[in-house]
């Protein structure tokens, strides 16, 4: 994948998936602005990219504000002359059951995921439209946003909102040849490495380089950040010029296309529906096969022999 001449911003790329994205984009020839709220992590990422022969600049910022978004785009233009790819990846979790979730838990997650995606993409698109040479938007969704997840009111709402924005941007940005797609990743990072059934395998991989078993890589679609990063490089490339408005899943050995919500059953009542008519019709019409919710629990037993104990393979 040749991205030489292109300039990318990756938010939250000091570690985890973002770091793998920044490294993959740089290895393919793009110049990368590495953003993270942790300046040391951003600086270390730049050092790693440069020592591998890539081009990168650090821009430490807490994303979620217009000011931070503007700083990222300005840095790309000042350092490398243009902007072609915006990857919004920064993320935090504040998991709690609904009745314990504070306003701050909700607002923090919505700011770092949903608002940061909006502000960074808006700033990037303004620059891309000026350049008038197209562009690439790649955002971070999640299985939790696609399906809901226990303890994640804030996160599921933010990620579902991000998927909704991608579908909207695919239409709004088509004329400017700017594509917008969501990656729905699953990978061993700080967010996920503690899942009980997976933890011993993640530990063995990190300590000894022992490959994850097929039951994880294929069965659960669970792998490393480096397994996810090639999808971002692909979506950033000219080869993906015709792909937009999609939610693409990737993890381990698995690549998948997520469906968009659509009506699955419809019923009609002349003159409209009364509450009683809905109650009567529900079990035999639209309510006959209700949709299920949540991320399926892992079937992988792991060393603990307790399949699906956490019920949460992917944030
Ligand atoms: N790991 C998974 O399996 C998985 C699954 C689905 C979605 N995701 C999504 O992928 C993205 C990356 O997740 P990860 O697993 O690499 O997490 P991570 O915690 O390993 O890395 C997140 C990075 O974002 C940075 N960050 C946090 N808040 C920030 C802010 N306000 N401004 C700038 N940087 C900030 C952190 O410092 C960190 O370097 C997130 O959006 C996450 O929701 C991850």
Distances (CA, A) of 27 to 3, 55, 236: 9, 9, 13
Q: Which of 46, 48, 90 to mutate to test the pocket of ligand 1 (most atoms within 8 A of CB)?
A: 90
Report how far ligand 1's centroid is from the alpha carbon of 189 (Å): 9
Report how far ligand 1's centroid is from the alpha carbon of 109 (Å): 11
State the pLDDT confidence band at 297, using cuts at 50, 70 and 90.
confident
Q: What average pLDDT does the segment 128-156 reach?
A: 97
Q: What average pLDDT does the segment 166-189 reach?
A: 97
Distance CA 117, CA 109 (A): 12
Report how far ligand 1's centroid is from the alpha carbon of 315 (Å): 10
pLDDT of residue 308: 47
pLDDT of residue 299: 82
Q: Quick check: 304 pLDDT over 70?
A: no
Q: What average pLDDT does the segment 25-47 reach?
A: 98
Give the residues surrounding ligand 1 with Cβ less than 6 Å away: 11-12, 14-18, 35-38, 41, 62-64, 89-92, 112, 140, 142, 185-187, 189-192, 314-315
Nearest atom in ligand 1 to 111's CA:
31
Report how far ligand 1's centroid is from the alpha carbon of 171 (Å): 27
Using CA positions, which residue lies closest to atom 30 of ligand 1?
Answer: 62
Nearest atom in ligand 1 to 191's CA:
15
| Per-residue pLDDT reduced to its tens digit, 228-266 | 999 999 999 999 999 999 999 999 999 999 999 999 999
Q: Quick check: 279 pLDDT over 70?
A: yes
Using CA positions, which residue lies closest to atom 40 of ligand 1?
Answer: 91
Nearest atom in ligand 1 to 187's CA:
3
Enumerate residues 6+ apart whose C-beta is below 8 A from 288.
265
| Per-residue pLDDT reduced to its tens digit, 70-129 | 999 999 999 999 999 999 999 999 999 999 999 999 999 999 999 999 999 999 999 999
Q: What average pLDDT does the segment 27-41 reach?
A: 98
Q: Which of 9, 10, 11, 12 to mutate to test the pocket of ligand 1 (most atoms within 8 A of CB)?
A: 12
Q: What average pLDDT does the segment 178-188 reach?
A: 97
Q: Quick check: 311 pLDDT over 60?
A: no
pLDDT of residue 249: 98
Q: Quick check: 307 pLDDT over 70?
A: no
- Active-site annotation, residues: 142, 155, 159
State the pLDDT confidence band at 226, using cuts at 50, 70 and 90.
very high
State the pLDDT confidence band at 301, using cuts at 50, 70 and 90.
confident
Report how far ligand 1's centroid is from the alpha carbon of 150 (Å): 19
Q: Quick check: 197 pLDDT over 90?
A: no
State the pLDDT confidence band at 305, using cuts at 50, 70 and 90.
low
Q: Quick check: 176 pLDDT over 70?
A: yes
- Average per-residue pLDDT in the chain? 94
Distance CA 54, CA 28 (A): 9
State the pLDDT confidence band at 312, using cuts at 50, 70 and 90.
very low
Which of 93-97, 137-141, 246-250, 302-306 comes out lowest in average pLDDT?
Answer: 302-306
pLDDT of residue 137: 99
Nearest atom in ligand 1 to 113's CA:
41
pLDDT of residue 192: 76
């Amino acid at each position: 994948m040749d991205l030489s001449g292109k300039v990318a911003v990756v938010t939250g790329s000091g570690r985890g998936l973002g770091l793998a994205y920044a490294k993959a984009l740089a290895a393919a020839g793009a110049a990368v602005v590495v953003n993270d709220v942790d300046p040391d992590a951003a600086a270390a990422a730049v050092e790693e990219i440069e020592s591998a022969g890539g081009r990168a600049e650090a821009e430490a910022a807490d994303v979620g504000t217009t000011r931070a978004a503007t700083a990222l785009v300005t840095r790309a233009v000042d350092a490398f002359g243009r902007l072609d790819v915006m990857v919004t990846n920064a993320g935090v979790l504040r998991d709690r059951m609904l009745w314990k979730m504070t306003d701050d838990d909700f607002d923090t997650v919505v700011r770092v995921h949903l608002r940061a995606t909006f502000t960074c993409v808006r700033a990037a698109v303004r620059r891309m439209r000026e350049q008038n040479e197209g562009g690439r938007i790649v955002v971070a969704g999640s299985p939790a946003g696609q399906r809901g997840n226990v303890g994640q009111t804030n996160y599921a709402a933010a990620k579902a909102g991000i998927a909704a924005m991608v579908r909207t941007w695919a239409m709004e940005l088509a004329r400017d040849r700017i594509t917008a797609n969501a990656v729905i990743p699953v990978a061993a990072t700080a967010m996920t490495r503690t899942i009980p059934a997976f933890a011993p395998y993640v530990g063995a991989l990190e300590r000894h380089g022992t490959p994850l078993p097929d039951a994880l890589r294929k069965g659960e679609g669970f792998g490393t950040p480096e397994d996810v990063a090639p999808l971002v490089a692909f979506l950033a490339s000219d080869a993906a010029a015709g792909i937009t408005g999609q939610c693409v899943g990737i993890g381990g050995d698995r690549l998948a296309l997520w469906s968009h919500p659509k009506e699955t059953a419809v019923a009609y009542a002349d003159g409209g529906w009364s509450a009683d008519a809905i109650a009567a019709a529900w079990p035999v019409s639209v309510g006959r096969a209700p949709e299920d919710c949540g991320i399926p629990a892992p079937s992988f037993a792991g060393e603990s022999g307790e399949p699906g104990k956490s019920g949460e393979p992917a944030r």
